[in-house]
Amino acid sequence: MRVFWVMDLPHFEYTNVLHAHSHLAMLGWGFTVICCLLIYFLKDHIQNFRTYRSLLLANTLGSLVMALAFVLKGYAIVSIALLIFHLLIAYALGFILLKDLKKLPNKNAALLARWAIYWMFISTVGVWLLPIVIAKFGKLDPLYQASIEWFLHLQFNGWFIYSVLALLFLFLERIGKDVKFTSLDFWALQLSLVLTYALPAYWSYPLPFLNMLNSLGVLIQLLVFWRIISPFLTIFRIELVTKKNFGYGLIVLGLISLLVKITIQASLIFSLFLAASSEVHNFFIGFIHLLMLGVFTLTCLGICSIQGLLPQNMLTRIGLATLALGFLITEVILFGQGLLEWSFQMTLPFYHETLLVCTLLLPIGLALLIFSFLPAFKKVNV
């Protein structure tokens, strides 16, 4: 996608590639990682792994074909059919996971994981509403964008964030640690999630009371997340210092990213920053990457590394470090350019070229991680 801003790609349409990227990142990568890690921590309580394996394989193949369909044709019959296919698989996997989560002894993790799935289910209402809205009101109606934002808000802040918290509680249990999580914390988390939907709703319907609801929501969110995340950070920083395991560094970076995300959202109670959030595209892109690459991907990869789900070799460590470095540098560039554009209407020299080169660190890091598995495959073949 960065290449579009540097050179012409006459055979590809930017919007189609953007749709392929976003759908594959959320419905392919994000969905699969959450399900696989939940299954990993539930493995002692699962009897039929074959169903999980079949559904995850079907979703992986469907997501790859869906991404290709988006690149070639955009929103068309094939891509829409595969999106529906994913939703049906998500419902099936969600219901099976809900059943197996009842056997999980870690109550905090079970509660958060169940509600992650519930919010994932509820988010899809926005998707099913789209054809109705288009047929009755058209794509220019505010309800069209509000339906999309409903899906995205509950996916990012419900399904993904709740899942990360559940996985952190499960991981803490594995290393013999615990963090207090009260019913007040949980319901404050729930309330903040509902109230903060008022911001994307405000973009479609600029009503003053929606801005007020969002302000209340982000303040509650700020308090509850600082209360939850602070002890996590303390534990993982100590583990990083004592055990010298790079995986803990990734988790710490992921948790810091979460606190930065929450702080940015809290800043939107000020009208100056609220306007910037919708006017400066770089802020929006940087914020999404902060969540998906920082909070979600780095935290999950850190857990995978420490639990031995990634090969324990030098290639893995270099790959993880390259990914983390690529994330940090691109975030600095995105937010830095956003600040320049917002404050001075300026552009960094060679901005797009620099961002393209630094973004290459991400696929390079991913490639190194994939290659790190080759020694293990060779041993199996021998």
Tell me the C-alpha to C-alpha distance, in Å, between residue 128 and each of 79, 122, 208, 327, 372.
15, 11, 28, 33, 41
The two tokens of residue 97 are 């996971």
Quote the CA–CA distance of 90 and 128 in Å, as a whole number. Answer: 14
Interval 130-138 mean pLDDT? 92
In this predicted structure, what is the pLDDT of residue 297?
Answer: 96
**Residue 1 above 80 pLDDT?**
no
Quote the CA–CA distance of 288 and 157 in Å, as a whole number. Answer: 11
The one-letter amino acid at 183:
S
In this predicted structure, what is the pLDDT of residue 47?
Answer: 80
Interval 260-269 mean pLDDT? 92
Tell me the C-alpha to C-alpha distance, in Å, between residue 155 and each of 88, 249, 278.
16, 26, 20
Per the listing, tokens 């993982």 go with 236
Residue 68 lies in a domain: yes
Per the listing, tokens 């995978």 go with 304
**Residue 223 above 50 pLDDT?**
yes
If one counts the domains in the chain, the total is: 1
Quote the CA–CA distance of 166 and 161 in Å, as a whole number. Answer: 9
Query: Long-range contacts: 58-61, Cβ < 8 Å, 24+?
Result: 58/85, 58/89, 59/27, 59/28, 59/31, 59/32, 59/86, 59/89, 59/90, 59/93, 60/28, 60/32
Residue 65 lies in a domain: yes
Query: Long-range contacts: 198-206, Cβ < 8 Å, 24+?
Result: 199/265, 199/268, 199/277, 200/146, 200/149, 200/150, 200/152, 200/153, 201/146, 201/149, 203/145, 203/149, 203/278, 204/142, 204/143, 204/145, 204/146, 204/149, 205/142, 205/146
The two tokens of residue 74 are 């955009």
Residue 25 lies in a domain: yes
Average pLDDT for the chain: 92
Contact 189, 224 (CB under 8 A): yes
**Residue 272 above 90 pLDDT?**
no
pLDDT tens-digit series, residues 228-258: 999 999 999 999 999 889 999 999 999 999 9
Between the two ends of the chain, the Cα-to-Cα distance in Å is 40
Residue 118 lies in a domain: no
Residue 167 lies in a domain: no
Q: What is the pTM of this model?
A: 0.94
In this predicted structure, what is the pLDDT of residue 9?
Answer: 81
pLDDT tens-digit series, residues 288-322: 999 999 999 999 999 999 999 999 899 999 999 99
In this predicted structure, what is the pLDDT of residue 10?
Answer: 81
Tell me the C-alpha to C-alpha distance, in Å, between residue 15 and each of 19, 45, 70, 73, 186.
6, 43, 9, 10, 38
pLDDT-above-70 percentage for the chain: 98
Residue 3 lies in a domain: yes
Tell me the C-alpha to C-alpha distance, in Å, between residue 250 and each of 79, 200, 235, 314, 362.
34, 30, 13, 16, 15
Residue 123 lies in a domain: no
In this predicted structure, what is the pLDDT of residue 380?
Answer: 46
In this predicted structure, what is the pLDDT of residue 377?
Answer: 55
Name the residue range of residue 44's domain.
Answer: 1-103
Contact 179, 228 (CB under 8 A): yes
Residue 8 lies in a domain: yes
